[in-house]
Amino acid sequence: MELTKRPRRLRMDGRVRDMIRETRISKKSLIYPIFVEEGENIIREIAEMPGQKRYSPDTLPYALEEAAGAGVQSIMFFGVPKHKDECGSQAYDPHGIIQETMRIAKKEVPELLYIGDVCMCEYTSHGHCGIIKGDSVDNDKTLPLLAKTAVSQVEAGADMVAPSDMMDGRIGVIRRALDEAGYIDTPIMSYAAKYASAFYGPFRNAAGSDNFKGNRKTYQMDWHNRREALKEVDMDLEEGADIIMVKPALSYLDIIRETRDRSPVPVAAYSVSGEYAMIKAAGARGLIDEKAVIAETATSIYRAGAELLITYFAKEIAEMIDEGRIG
């Protein structure tokens, strides 16, 4: 049989497969989310997310050193305060849980890069991502508080801020506030295409933001829509976003691809709590090879176009890179 084209030629030798691999994953591109709870001596298992924990600021260095030891270089913090109110004042309190966490992290493990999640949902008594007016979130009244939150996090030591609220215009407002405060070099990672997803369930329990009434569909995106995501991306780019994020990841690989094709800035994807919980549950029951599925799903996100991956599996992926199972 005369075949001039034989794709298998490049698959026969493992060294050749490694040499021509199209998608490569680096530990430097991984971002590990950590939940920090106000209090002391806390290392609390998160039942909805096996293997993940809440830490208090004083026990946090243990988790940071563990992540750094695995080769993870970037951390994103989510705060769980004791006190919540209508306006989420602990989000922008100079001595709030995230602000104190940043100070401790920068002192104890300064080599890591720290990203502050900028939102109100963990801090409001109603659980929504902004100031409530009637039955909805008041977009424009929320913006100054988001800007205040971002500035307070950077003042406390954050290397980057990541607004996740999905209010219109928040990137521009936060950029101006940071610049006016003298933080012109602090990057903004925008949750640009954030969908109103059912995959967030375990996170809301873990972060204590599951107390809201109604839903977040007036500000998070309808998961039927593709063009709307590109509009959100374009708006955030115009307002000064330095990194664009798509969230969730696995059900939105098409959005990651289209975002990568049009974005002049780096693209991040957030593999969210529901994705994590499903893999852990199936692995615990012996239904899948857990490590193999972690490797395959992470690779699919990078293959779709993500250059940065926010994932609760960051440490496992870093270890698999060392083992040669991924990357």
Of 247, 280, 291, 315, the active-site residue reads: 247
- SS3 label, residue 32: strand
121 is in an annotated binding site: yes
Q: Helix H segments across 157-197?
A: 170-180
Amino acid at 48: E
Any residues with CB less than 8 A from the CB of 102 and at least 6 apart, and which? 77, 114, 116, 153, 156, 157, 158
92 is in an annotated binding site: no
pLDDT for the residue 214: 57
The CA distance from 150 to 165, in Å, is: 12
87 is in an annotated binding site: no
The CA distance from 145 to 177, in Å, is: 11
pTM above 0.85, yes or no: yes
- SS3 label, residue 59: coil
pLDDT for the residue 215: 73
b/e 233-255 (16+ beta carbons within 10 angstroms → b): bebbbebbbbbbbbbbbbebbeb
pLDDT for the residue 295: 96
Terminal alpha carbon distance of the chain: 36
The CA distance from 63 to 114, in Å, is: 13
pLDDT for the residue 164: 93
Of 28, 106, 148, 194, the active-site residue reads: 194
Residue 194 designated active-site = yes
pLDDT for the residue 209: 55
Residue 155 DSSP class? H
pLDDT for the residue 327: 76
Q: Helix H segments across 157-289?
A: 170-180, 201-207, 227-239, 253-262, 273-284
pLDDT tens over the chain, length 327 residues: 788 788 998 899 888 898 888 898 999 999 999 999 999 999 999 999 999 999 999 999 999 999 999 999 999 999 999 999 888 999 999 999 999 999 999 999 999 999 999 999 889 888 788 888 877 889 999 999 999 999 999 999 999 999 999 999 999 999 999 999 999 999 999 999 999 999 998 876 766 555 556 577 888 999 999 999 999 999 999 999 999 999 999 999 999 999 999 999 999 999 999 999 999 999 999 999 999 999 999 999 999 999 999 999 999 999 999 998 887
312 is in an annotated binding site: yes
pLDDT for the residue 135: 76
